[in-house]
Amino acid sequence: MYTPNESDETLVGRCLAGDQAAFEGIVVRYQRGLFNVALRLLGSYEDARDCTQTAFVKAYEHLDTFDASQRFVSWIYRILRNECLNALRARRPSEPVSLEWAAAGIPSDSLMAFERNRAVQSALLGLTADYREVIVLRHFTELSYDDIAVTLGIPVKTVKSRLYSARQRLGEVLAEWRVER
């Protein structure tokens, strides 16, 4: 059992003491954030589901290596990011990615929202992995610049400059869609 107000550190401590059920609190807390990051990085609903599950399992299995002086949120996103990069490397270049999931949660009469979602996702997939990940972590999570820097293992200044470049590139890809709108 766990309570929503228990901190990450408390839940991790309980897991390390053998209380497996405490990890459910961590999964519930981070499932939406991790899944959406994986979805935006990979573009595939199935791959995102698999990578998110595996990231949680790996986090649990390696919980004893977690450095308590760091933020847990950065650590778990780092595991997910590595898992997604592995999935991208294993993917064949010609493998098609279905973006039908981009319509999820959007009212059927809101064609514009659906098109925008799909355009953004297509544009994201057109970026290199290092540009894509910094955009996704910044715009689809609550991570701070410091957290993103720890997650990606790069300095904060590099996070900011890479984000700037990535948005410039994303803007170019989206320009056509914006003009048409």
Residue 66 as a binder of another protein (CB under 8 A): the answer is yes
Comparing CA positions, the residue from 162, 86, 174, 79 lying closest to residue 126 is: 174
The dihedral sign for the CA sequence 14, 141, 127, 161: negative
Residue 23's H or E segment, with its range, is helix 22-42
Smallest separation (angstroms) from another protein to the CB of 28? 6
The span from the CA of 23 to the CA of 57, in Å, is 10
Question: Among 42, 120, 148, 152, which residue interacts with another protein (rule: CB under 8 A)?
Answer: 120
Residue 171 as a binder of another protein (CB under 8 A): the answer is yes
For 54, 169, 174, 180, the CA distances from 119, given in Å and listed in that order, are: 28, 14, 7, 12
Q: Which is nearer to another protein, 69 or 94 (CB)?
A: 69
Q: Which is nearer to another protein, 94 or 125 (CB)?
A: 125
| Cβ 153 vs Cβ 78: under 8 Å | yes
The span from the CA of 136 to the CA of 37, in Å, is 6
Question: Among 41, 51, 84, 163, which residue interacts with another protein (rule: CB under 8 A)?
Answer: 163
Residue 51 as a binder of another protein (CB under 8 A): the answer is no
- In the complex, the residues that contact another protein under the rule CB under 8 A are 6, 9-10, 12-14, 16-20, 23-24, 27-28, 31-32, 35-36, 39, 45, 49, 52-53, 56-57, 60-61, 64, 66, 68, 101-102, 104-106, 113, 116-117, 120, 135, 139-140, 157-158, 160-165, 167, 170-171, 174, 178
